[in-house]
Structure 1
Amino acid sequence: MKRAITLLSFGAILAFASSQLLAAGNAENGKQKAATCFACHGTDGNAVDPQYPRLAGQYNLYLQRVLHEYKEGQRDNPIMKGMVATLSDQDIEDVSTYFSSLPSKLDTLKNHISGSK
């Protein structure tokens, strides 16, 4: 009986842990939270000014990693650091889910790489 309870407890812990690992962002919430991003990155995530990255269609986990790097100071950009300073982990997941769900208009890197003409 004690072994069965131990196994059930272990199973419950695994189920909880895996559900946390699989937790995904909410695109609709992300759209609301990304409102301040639109000025530079566009409402559809396809910035028209080449100095700002196009976010639409980027990999979700890539966007999350980049936002965390700005927040933690691993990427040095004062504007982005200020933009992400108040974002929670859930906010970052939501915003990343929103932008990654959008169709990209990036079919070439021409004029989207620093120094390219």
Structure 2
Amino acid sequence: MNKRIALLAAPLALAVCLPVHAAGDANAGKTKAATCQACHGPDGNSVDPQYPRLAGQYADYLVQALKDYKSGARNNPIMKGFAAGLSEQDMEDLAAYFSRQRGLVVPEAPKTVQP
């Protein structure tokens, strides 16, 4: 009987020990994105080419980028300063918000008129 309990308890113990992946809250991310708007635009679609467009990016990519700025793995002093104060949940929330925004739509090339 003890073997059965041990076999049932082992997967449960493992599940409890695994890290929990925090889900981002897009509504909270919208509020937290206020400081991002100056460079990246209100919805993450910057009109200035020196600032990346965040809208429509994968959430996990955005979270990783923020973590990299915070750790210094990505070298940008401005973003490092912004990311320094972000918690894991803040990053998840921001990523949830920007990933749900409509990204850049590339217009079709103009059609040439044949004479």
Q: CA RMSD in A?
A: 1.9
Q: Deviations over 1:41-77 (max 9, x none)?
A: 1111100111110100001111111111100001111
TM-score (norm 2): 0.81
2:84 counterpart residue number? 85
Write the distance in 1 (CA, Å) between the matches of 2:27 and 2:7: 39
Deviation at 1:33, TM superposition (A): 1.4
1:27 counterpart residue number? 26
Q: How many residues align?
A: 107
- Paired residue secondary structure (1:83): helix
Change (3 A) 1:60 1:17: farther
1:5 counterpart residue number? 5
Q: Percent identity?
A: 55
Higher-Rg structure is 2
- Paired residue secondary structure (2:10): helix
Letter in 2 for 1:29: A
Write the distance in 2 (CA, Å) between the matches of 1:17 and 1:94: 24
Deviation at 1:20, TM superposition (A): 1.5
Letter in 2 for 1:20: V
- Paired residue secondary structure (2:11): helix
Check conservation: 1:54, 1:106, Cα contact below 8 A: no
2:45 counterpart residue number? 46
Letter in 1 for 2:9: S
Deviation at 1:94, TM superposition (A): 0.9
Mark the runs of 5 or more structure 1 residues left unpaired by the alignment. Answer: 109-117
2:61 counterpart residue number? 62
- Paired residue secondary structure (2:20): helix
Deviation at 1:14, TM superposition (A): 4.2
Q: Deviations over 1:91-115 (max 9, x none)?
A: 111111110011112427xxxxxxx
2:110 counterpart residue number? none
Deviation at 1:16, TM superposition (A): 3.8
2:111 counterpart residue number? none
TM-score (norm 1): 0.80
Change (3 A) 1:17 1:94: farther
